[in-house]
Chain A
Amino acid sequence: MSDVDFDVVVLGAGPGGYTAAFRAADLGLRVGLVERYPALGGVCLNVGCIPSKALLHTANIIEEAAAMEQHGVSFGQPAVDIDKLRGFKESVVGKLTGGLAGMAKQRKVEVIQGSGSFAGPDELVVKTEGGERKLSFAHAIIAVGSESLELGRMPWGDPRLMDSTGALELEEIPQRLLVIGGGIIGLEMACVYRALGSDITLCELTPTLMPGTDPDLVKPLQRRIGKQYKNIHLETAVVQIDVADDALVAHFEGKHNGKEKFDRVLVAVGRTPNGGKINAAAAGVEVTARGFIPTDKQMRTNVPHIFAIGDVVGQPMLAHKATHEGKVAAEVCAGEKSAFEARVIPSVAYTDPEIAWVGVTESEAKESGQEYGVGRFPLAASGRALGIDRTEGFTKLLFDQATKRIIGAGITGPNAGDLIAECALAIEMGAEAEDIGLTIHPHPTLSESVAMAAEVFEGTVTDLYIPRKK
């Protein structure tokens, strides 16, 4: 093994890639980490989860401050210094990516900046600033992620037409913003810009927002933004965007028809994997027509010493999935018998209210024919939710009827993304409804709603009155 440059080369330094590289290094392997951008961390740290959450926090404070007016505390109109806000966001990103670079150094992971592609089953070529560099490896881990899906026939040269990366750059606060795509990313960005003062028009091709999520979870959000946003067009496509000097003109077709002017347009219609961009064929690695790279449970591609992790492997495209997969791949490279065996992967929309779910959705449970039961606890019955004046959401747990073990959970409300972690643990541990209900949850917190939902299923809840069925 001394005749190769690296025991492991990791292609891509997003959350999956750097985790794989660090884990492999900690297991004693010589590791190279190839990243095309100067900063480590990938989409998540640089132009995704982290900067968007910094901005969403700001948006939440603005919304909460405004809401206080009804309770007798007025702050007046917020004065937004967008340069300073952008600076804060960039400082957060900078701290994290700088930390990563430091940790790579401490672990003696060699970071090679440049675009990497395969030259053979044991060799990678990296186009660096100083020219091409060839790297030979015993194992490779492909962690090249995904990128925003671009809609065709759109004026992409115009800076007013943005993808999520552009929207996070926060160049200006447009008066009129059109968001194309009612998925998590579109809704989160709409939240940010609406709080900063934009008028939002949202356009979604399918009949529901956040397709695939249980409709009841989305409803409280839909009701709230229905009042906040200028328009929400469902079952509507934007078929054309004309460039005018003072605006972008969007042409709608579908349930809503017509033309309308916008100062900026954000396209957030999904992400596409980057599997097709690394000359995987040279290594014999199979890539699907859509750009995904199939793997087994140990994250091996069809070429046994080449692994793939993260967005490029398949849905859901989530950082916390990628990091787990990265650890598995690194451990298998080191000869350990690891495998990706998590049963569930939680999903969170950091909208206002937040929506989070894990495990089986109610729609899936219905479709599968599995005998299941539901315990649902409305936040209207939670003292804490009343105190913060956010009672529109609820916590819902799904249980296997025969064993009373939890199989899924969905939460809409403040901090849903934090509350869902308990449900994920409960599912992995095979907890029964009683295990959850009999665990004492602190009062008064929103976390109580999880225990209460379990009690609703058990029929032992006292904070609600539920008439007996018989």
Chain B
Amino acid sequence: MSNTIEIKVPDIGDFSNIPVIEVLVSEGDKIDAEAGLVTLESDKATMEVPSPAAGVIRELKLQLDDTVSEGDVVAILEVSGESDEAEEASSSGDGDSVEAVPQSPPQKAAEPVAEESEPPAPSADIEQESPPPAERLSGTAAVDPARVPYASPAIRKFARELGVDLGRVKGSGNKGRIVREDVSAFVKSVMSGAVETGSSSIGGLRLNFPKLPDFDFSRYGGTEKQPLTKIQKISAAHLHRNWIGIPHVTQNDEADITDMEAFRQANAAEAVEQGFKLTPLVFLIKALVAALKKYPTFNSSLDSDGESLILKKYFNVGIAVDTPDGLVVPVLRECERKGIMELAAELGEISARARDKKLTPQDIQGGCISISSLGGIGGTSFTPIINAPEVAILGVSRSKMSPVWDGNEFRPRLMLPLSLSYDHRVIDGAEAARFCRYVASRLEDLRRLTL
């Protein structure tokens, strides 16, 4: 008997229902271990699902544009030559078991989840209690597995009592059956904010914006509809939440980088020889890390209960990168340990991957603070939006040769505008001003970075 295994979607971070954007193999293909099978596009990143073993693709279980989650079967592989690894990858040893159809992503946000804390008393104005329940399903619609949640009557009742829409719950039972624990876990994740409830409630605020009326723009001239990219849609939600939910203050300052520029240019050729560019951004990263060490509250996050600060002992800096599909923020790790040249090389490499849509979910996680640099384009100042759960972001505008009074005379100095947006719940204005000065002073005299 030939040994077939199911290749499943591995741990892809906290994402589910992500689309397959590329299928790299066909049924019957002979492949090597680690060969890519399909490419998935997750939150701001793409990843290939590799084959755990060499062999022949017997059956491909995914198509282009399918959406998948961790554990979904990608393909059935007939393994050539036994390997322990292959055994592990097979969950049941049953080569032709059929996985449940991936549940369609929960698009609607109709029923607010877990909003009510206590059952309403019986009263005549009971209509306020809940939105009118949907029509009763009958006939085929009531039992079609593609349309109804895979849950028994008792679990459906349990979910209803908790106000949980079972369409949004992922089942952990055999073939995705929803069990009681799944419903409880879903409620916990909603309560802890891990799942978006679809209501405009931020930090307990119930914001009820009037709906913008629908406009018919074509009445005034020609129009064209362009769908937002996945990245744009995801960023939009994050940016909106952060802008509304965090009290932002932006502190503007300037750094005299005349000497830094001279130093950078003196060493630029050496970088080019090694295959990367030495940009001013790298110096900013080092200066920022120095400032984070001096002012640890800038390297923190608010605990989810709002009762305490979580101070981080690591120094990872996110860099906003403009790509044709939208804004992404890859993270440079352990910046405190790396030298200028090493950081420059890494920055070049990760920016290139961001533009090629080759970032992995890990590449965009774990940042402590972010830098948004528009220095290459122009501007004198702007308000960057904090990349929560971070508490500050440094915006950089275009440097400009300016007359600076040194006490005796005006001297031409290259001045770099810095715009630091910070979370005023965590950071005071005076502290922010000091932080900005500290960053500027490191840039003005790079020797201070060694202090």
Contact = CB atoms under 8 A, between A and B. Distances in A.
A339 B124 contact: no
Given A360-B140, A400-B145, A403-B98, A337 B161 contact: yes
A119 B121 CA distance: 25
Contacts of A176: none
Given A344-B142, A368-B140, A337 B124 contact: no
A305 B126 contact: yes
Nearest to B142: A343
Interface stretch (A91-99, A215-223, A381-389, A422-430): A422-430
A403 B150 CA distance: 11
A344 B148 CA distance: 12
Contacts of B125: 304
A300 B130 CA distance: 12
B133 A402 contact: no
A360 B127 contact: no
Nearest to A316: B138
A368 to B, nearest CB: 4
Nearest to A294: B135
Tell me what chain B mostly uses at the interface: helix, strand, loop, or mixed. loop
A109 B140 CA distance: 40
B185 interface: no
A360 B143 contact: yes
Most B CB atoms within 10 A — which of A1, A368, A403, A428?
A403
A443 B68 CA distance: 44
Interface string A380-408: 00000000000000000000101111011
Interface in A352-368: 359-360, 364-365, 368
Contacts of B142: 343-344, 359
A169 interface: no
Interface stretch (B28-36, B151-159, B230-238, B386-394): B151-159
Given A297-B134, A335-B119, A335-B121, A430 B98 contact: no
Contact of A428 (B101, B153, B175): B153
A364 B140 contact: yes
B140 A370 contact: yes
B145 A402 contact: yes
A305 B133 contact: no
Given A296-B132, A403-B101, A337 B145 contact: no
Contacts, number: 96
Contacts of A1: 122-123
A336 interface: yes
B136 to A, nearest CB: 6
Contact of B150 (A337, A342, A407, A430): A430
A334 B129 CA distance: 13
Nearest to B143: A407
A59 interface: no
Given A344-B143, A360-B143, A365-B140, A402 B152 contact: no
Contact of B177 (A297, A305, A430): A430
A45 to B, nearest CB: 26
B152 A428 contact: yes
Nearest to B116: A337
A400 B98 CA distance: 13
A252 interface: no
B122 A343 contact: no
Contacts of A334: 122
Q: Which of B123, B144, B153 has the most CB of A within 10 A?
A: B144
Most buried by B among A298, A341, A427: A341
Interface in A307-358: 333-344
Contacts of A304: 124-127
Contacts of B221: none
Interface string B376-409: 0000000000000000000000000000000000
Interface in B327-378: none
A139 B175 CA distance: 43
A28 to B, nearest CB: 10
Contact of A298 (B100, B133, B150, B175): B133
Contacts of B134: 296-297
Contacts of A35: none
B135 A297 contact: yes
Nearest to A360: B140
Contacts of B98: 402-404
A399 to B, nearest CB: 10
Given A337-B161, A360-B139, A400 B144 contact: yes
Nearest to A4: B124
Contacts of B120: 335
B34 to A, nearest CB: 31
B143 A335 contact: no
B96 to A, nearest CB: 12
A144 interface: no
Nearest to B141: A368
Nearest to A432: B175
A138 interface: yes
A7 interface: yes
A405 B143 CA distance: 9
B137 interface: yes
B40 to A, nearest CB: 22
16 contacts: A138-B122, A138-B124, A297-B133, A298-B133, A300-B132, A304-B124, A304-B127, A305-B124, A341-B156, A364-B140, A365-B140, A402-B98, A403-B145, A404-B98, A427-B143, A428-B152
Given A138-B122, A364-B139, A403-B98, 14 more contacts: A138-B124, A297-B134, A305-B124, A335-B119, A337-B160, A341-B153, A341-B156, A341-B160, A359-B143, A364-B140, A370-B140, A404-B98, A407-B140, A407-B143
The 4 A-B pairs of least Cβ separation, nearest first, read A297-B133, A304-B127, A368-B140, A407-B143
